[in-house]
Structure 1
Amino acid sequence: MFTRRDFLSAGLAAPLAYAAGSFVPAWAQNAPNLGTPTLPSPGFRRMKLGEIEVISLIDGIARRPLGEEFVKNAPLAEVKALLASQGLATDYIDIPFTPFLVVGGGRRVLMDTGLGEFGGPTTGKLLENLRAAGVQPADIDTVLITHFHGDHINGLRTRAGELVFPNAKVMVPAAEYNFWMDDAKMAAAPEGMKGAFNNVRRVFATMPASTLQRFEAGTELAPGIRSVAAYGHTPGHTLFEVKSAGQTFMFIGDLTNVPALFARNPDWAVTFDMDAEAARKVRREVFARIVSSNAMVGGFHFPFPAFGRMAAAGQGYAFQPMA
């Protein structure tokens, strides 16, 4: 069980700090002096996977300053040098938020939900892009959640508390639910994390039992969709492997944040990883598996359209976007 000392020694207070009076993590809002990220148009992209379709749906982009804290175990100068070598900005980081929709066999399965009504002006675009792709919120029959950080779950409810996807079963990792809904862990957490625990309760505490379903790692959640444990970023962080007609798509959630940094250097730890060493190990294991299987990959924080493949590159991996 996590104690207050465990939380503090892991450096969890700041990374998960929530903005005052809001359910959005402070890091998910733009820094005004850094300009405004440009949102893609259209904000969805379709890909065929065997006999089904996978659609990426951008919820938005947040721009945050790049400081010493972002990569916990590498010098800022080294981080900036790697970004510069790839033609990327070095004074800020753009973080996209991209849920994915799997359509096939009469099913519409949404993976993660974005920030909903709780983010800044360059976020909260999921429903707009879902409709642009020809799908209404009521058409979603299943929502799969990778983990309980606000940018993945806030889109489940409106500010008024109404369920955004009224006909959907919401399936969550049991290990994740058990951690965040544990009153003792919440009591032991530093003040900076109380908002994250409260936010989880806002979303899930009153969700009807007929809607909310907890699953164990390795479970098949829908035909052709299996959960894969990837604990470390959070205690129950889970990936989703989708298979159809011999082809594979892996939605990796927050296995890595900015791929230009944390795929290229899988041993680097982003500030949001709750257990950096576990996250490092599972990141290397999953990337090796993806490369060996030549699976298509989708990352929640990957550059839009967030589809691509991973290739070995030096001591790490390079994300190769698909056009």
Structure 2
Amino acid sequence: MIQRRRLLTAGLLAPMAYAAGSFVPAWAQNAPNLGTPTLPTPGFRRTKLGDVEIVSLIDGIARRPLGEEFVKNAPIAEVRALLASQGLPTDYIDIPFTPFLVVAGGRRILMDTGLGDHGGPTTGKLLENLRAAGFGPQDIDTVLITHYHGDHINGLRNKAGEYIFPKAKVMVPAPEHAFWMDDAKMAAAPDAMKGAFNNVRRTFAQMPADMLVRFEPGSELAPGVRSVAAFGHTPGHTLFEVSSAGQTFNYVGDLTNVPALFARNPDWAVTFDMDAEAARKVRRETFARILSANAMIGGFHFPFPAFGRVAAAGNGYAFTPLA
């Protein structure tokens, strides 16, 4: 119980360490002296899913040092050994930010929004890549939000406060919205977490009533698009499942940060999970379900093009991006 409480407390604080004077989590900034991550060119990738199209749109990549705090319940030596076994660096972690666009008939549904103009120099590329893929922000009719961490919601409004997708309904999980908009929870939160609450209010408090739509996880949000409760990473973290012509795509948001670590070891707890035990349980359940269905998977922090397949590997799962 004590260990779980420590994990929860650390999970609450770690993602909420905000850079001074900004609304971007400090971990989303590039770490000095570790080089600069290379962004893919082009920064979008299309794939067909039955009668619809899925487009991954990278918003950028942040590089952070790999410290003992990143995986809360595994020795750093084991973490580095697993990375080395896959030919990955062992002194830093590259974290991509990749929203997805669903093109279905006349619908243009964006899932998560990236950091917008609130991040570092290797982020904020969503609109550029959206246009490169043949779409503009005015073409988006729906934005689906998995959860309220800054790298998923900051792209909704720019620093001037303007709404980036002016014609879109912004659909958010009701329990997620209720948690972050609760004044009592904000008042009781540690100081390191108050920036995250303030960022949510900057984003949503003045959003027009006809733009903001709350939904209950588990409900259908559009024809062929269903929400799936996956609480743990945050109190209302929600996944989205797209189905067409007998095929399925599962956008898993932050179910796992860095699949080379947390898909391969689903019981490991990333520092950003607010309830590590709930996140571990739903991570295992979701990967098992996706593998059983032979469904395509996409993740916000997965390596580009950020969608592909999973296969059983040891005690967990291996993610293979689409070629």
TM range (shorter): over 0.9
Distance between the aligned counterparts of 2:211 and 2:91, measured in 1?
43
Q: Which amino acid aligns with 2:265?
A: N
Distance between the aligned counterparts of 2:6 and 2:31, measured in 1?
30
For the 8 Å contact 2:11–2:272, the answer to whether it is kept is no
**Corresponding residue of 2:212:** 212
Q: Which amino acid aligns with 2:102?
A: V
Q: What 5-or-longer segments of structure 1 have no aligned partner?
A: none
For the 8 Å contact 1:10–1:275, the answer to whether it is kept is no
| Cα distance, 1:15 vs structure 2 | 2.9
Deviations 1:122-171 (A, max 9, x none): 00000000000000000000000000000000000011101000000000
**Corresponding residue of 1:72:** 72
**Corresponding residue of 1:302:** 302
**Corresponding residue of 1:113:** 113
For the 8 Å contact 1:7–1:189, the answer to whether it is kept is no
| Cα distance, 1:17 vs structure 2 | 1.0
**Corresponding residue of 2:228:** 228
Q: How does 1:1-323 map to 2 (within 5 A)?
A: 9-323=9-323
Partner-residue secondary structure (3-state), 1:48:
strand
| Cα distance, 1:10 vs structure 2 | 4.8
Distance between the aligned counterparts of 1:112 and 1:262, measured in 2?
21
Distance between the aligned counterparts of 1:179 and 1:17, measured in 2?
18
| Cα distance, 1:14 vs structure 2 | 2.9
Change (3 A) 1:264 1:276: same
Q: Which amino acid aligns with 1:144?
A: L
- Length-normalised TM-score, structure 1: 0.97
Distance between the aligned counterparts of 1:62 and 1:229, measured in 2?
27
Q: Which amino acid aligns with 1:166?
A: P
Q: Which amino acid aligns with 2:195?
A: G
Distance between the aligned counterparts of 2:14 and 2:38, measured in 1?
27
Partner-residue secondary structure (3-state), 1:33:
coil
CA RMSD of aligned residues (A): 1.2
For the 8 Å contact 1:7–1:190, the answer to whether it is kept is no
Distance between the aligned counterparts of 2:272 and 2:28, measured in 1?
12
Partner-residue secondary structure (3-state), 2:46:
strand
Deviations 1:239-296 (A, max 9, x none): 0000000000000000000000000000000000000000000000000000000110
Deviations 1:28-64 (A, max 9, x none): 0001210000000000000000000000000000000
Distance between the aligned counterparts of 1:279 and 1:46, measured in 2?
29
Q: Which stretches of structure 1, 4 residues or longer, exceed 2 Å deviation after superposition?
A: 5-11
For the 8 Å contact 1:102–1:108, the answer to whether it is kept is yes
- Length-normalised TM-score, structure 2: 0.97
Deviations 1:45-84 (A, max 9, x none): 0000000000000000000000000000000000000000
| Cα distance, 1:9 vs structure 2 | 3.6
Distance between the aligned counterparts of 2:105 and 2:11, measured in 1?
44
Distance between the aligned counterparts of 2:307 and 2:285, measured in 1?
20
Q: Which amino acid aligns with 1:270?
A: V
Q: Which amino acid aligns with 2:127?
A: L
Q: Which amino acid aligns with 1:309?
A: R
Distance between the aligned counterparts of 1:12 and 1:299, measured in 2?
21
For the 8 Å contact 2:45–2:57, the answer to whether it is kept is yes
Distance between the aligned counterparts of 1:6 and 1:79, measured in 2?
20
Change (3 A) 1:11 1:137: closer
Q: Which amino acid aligns with 2:73?
A: N
Distance between the aligned counterparts of 2:96 and 2:14, measured in 1?
20
Change (3 A) 1:79 1:321: same
The aligned length equals 319
Change (3 A) 1:48 1:32: same
Q: Which amino acid aligns with 2:314?
A: G
Q: What 5-or-longer segments of structure 2 have no aligned partner?
A: none
Q: Which amino acid aligns with 2:207?
A: M
| Cα distance, 1:12 vs structure 2 | 1.8
